[in-house]
Structure 1
Amino acid sequence: MDDEEARTRLLDAAEALFYAEGVQAVGMDRIRAESGVPLKRLYRIFPAKEALVTAYLERRDQRWTASLREAVAGSADPVAAVFEWLGRWFSEPDFRGCAFLNAYGELGAGPAGVLDVVRRHKAELRALLGDLVGPDREDLADQLLLLAEGATAVAALTPGPAPAVRAREAAHVLLNASRVG
């Protein structure tokens, strides 16, 4: 196994375990055991747990954001497409809320690398929503971000598409009100 394969195995194990059980509940030895990567190599690739958590979140951000962008690309109603995509995500059997806020909730502002990834992820989601509603509509993009984040938090407690459906309905109220005003 080369370092690239080892890195992939470590990130796959970290993502499955951290998302399902939490960052603090999972030790590096458990990551090693699940990945099949020797402990010495694990620490050579990720010298500290913070580095592994940061890499896990960065990789998740890339996949998550790319999937969302793909879902809204070419949609006649891209804002609705965001909430429809969220509804599908909320319905996945292993859905456990927002990995970024979960990690931040566990670790707080301590690990700078983790906090940076969380902030970048949220800024990227905000930018995507801003692109969808157009220029000079920052307030509307901020409101849509709150709807998306709120729906995600509610869905973490009650999985399924209903929070996304309600958030989509609220988004349309906001969009219609912004056209009138």
Structure 2
Amino acid sequence: MRPSKRDELVREALKVFYQGGFHATGMDALVVATGISKTTMFKHFSSKEELILAVLRLRDENFRNWIIRRTSELGRTPREQLLALFDVLAEWFAEPDFRGCMFIKASAEYQEPDHPVHVQSAEHKRLLFNYVRSLAIAAGALKPDSIARQLLLLKEGAIVAKHMGYEDDPASDAKSAARILLSQAFGPQAAAA
């Protein structure tokens, strides 16, 4: 089925915003990059902010589905999948168009906690937390909330380190730290995974 003009606009705007940021990318730049007129854009979205929210929803759906699929492919058990999260990060970091986390960037550009863009970015992180927590529960962690928070802190730190370019292999370093956390959460057999 051919995508609608609206869906096409959101997909193209995602690429443009990911490369250039939200505030720095004006409507004129979106017109040039997407080939879609301002009139058409405003037919589908009443404001740039509304378009940004649609872009964030698409990115969230695509990114979370990809992470869930890849961790399931790389890890046979929930414990292995918790560690595979960092292998998935390494794959993402190796992509030539890697520019960091769109949600970290969005929340930095829209800093008010109740701003819709900030709220949407926080929702992405909450949904990732729920996924990692569900793996921790399935793996038998005594404190699944705690281990999920700790693993996600390692994930976020690795993303920032890679984006800023001050670490050669942050995904591997984060995975090493995750092994230690998992050995404490589940015992030595988890660390060997």
Both structures adopt the same fold (TM-score exceeding 0.5): yes
The alpha-carbon distance between structure 1 residues 128 and 159, as it changes in their structure 2 partners (threshold 3 A), is farther
CA distance in 1 between counterparts of 2:63 and 2:170 reads 19
The alpha-carbon distance between structure 1 residues 159 and 88, as it changes in their structure 2 partners (threshold 3 A), is farther
- 129, 133, 147: which one pairs with 2:154? 147
CA distance in 2 between counterparts of 1:59 and 1:111 reads 20
Task: State whether structure 2 residue 115 is matched by structure 1 residue 112.
Answer: yes
Tell me the alpha carbon deviations over residues 30-85 of structure 1, each in whole angstroms, 9 at most, x when there is no partner: 21222222221211101101101111011000000000000122523101211000
Q: CA deviation at 1:178?
A: 1.8
Per mean C-alpha deviation after superposition, the further-off stretch among 110-119 and 71-80 is: 110-119
Unaligned runs of 5+ in 1: none
Counterpart in the other structure of 1:57: 56
Task: State whether structure 2 residue 128 is matched by structure 1 residue 125.
Answer: yes
3-state secondary structure, aligned to 2:173:
helix
Task: State whether structure 2 residue 95 is matched by structure 1 residue 95.
Answer: no
Q: Assess if the C-alpha contact under 8 Å between 1:10 and 1:31 holds in 2.
A: no
- 170, 173, 184: which one pairs with 1:177? 184
CA distance in 2 between counterparts of 1:22 and 1:39 reads 19
Q: CA deviation at 1:145?
A: 0.8
Counterpart in the other structure of 2:72: 73
Q: RCO greater where, 1 or 2, for CA within 8 Å and sep 6 or more? A: 1
Counterpart in the other structure of 1:28: 27
Q: CA deviation at 1:160?
A: 8.2
Task: State whether structure 2 residue 173 is matched by structure 1 residue 166.
Answer: yes
CA distance in 2 between counterparts of 1:5 and 1:35 reads 14
Per mean C-alpha deviation after superposition, the further-off stretch among 144-153 and 127-136 is: 127-136
CA distance in 1 between counterparts of 2:87 and 2:112 reads 32
The alpha-carbon distance between structure 1 residues 93 and 159, as it changes in their structure 2 partners (threshold 3 A), is farther
Amino acid at match of 1:48: S
Unaligned runs of 5+ in 2: 189-193
Per mean C-alpha deviation after superposition, the further-off stretch among 33-42 and 95-104 is: 33-42
CA distance in 2 between counterparts of 1:125 and 1:159 reads 25
3-state secondary structure, aligned to 2:4:
helix
TM-score by length of 2: 0.85
Tell me the alpha carbon deviations over residues 98-138 of structure 1, each in whole angstroms, 9 at most, x when there is no partner: 00011111121277321221111000111111111116421
CA distance in 2 between counterparts of 1:160 and 1:92 reads 16
Counterpart in the other structure of 2:13: 14
Task: Give the ranges of 4+ consecutive aligned residues of structure 1 lying more than 6 Å apart after TM superposition.
Answer: none
Counterpart in the other structure of 1:5: 4
Corresponding pairs, count: 179
3-state secondary structure, aligned to 1:73:
helix
Amino acid at match of 2:103: F
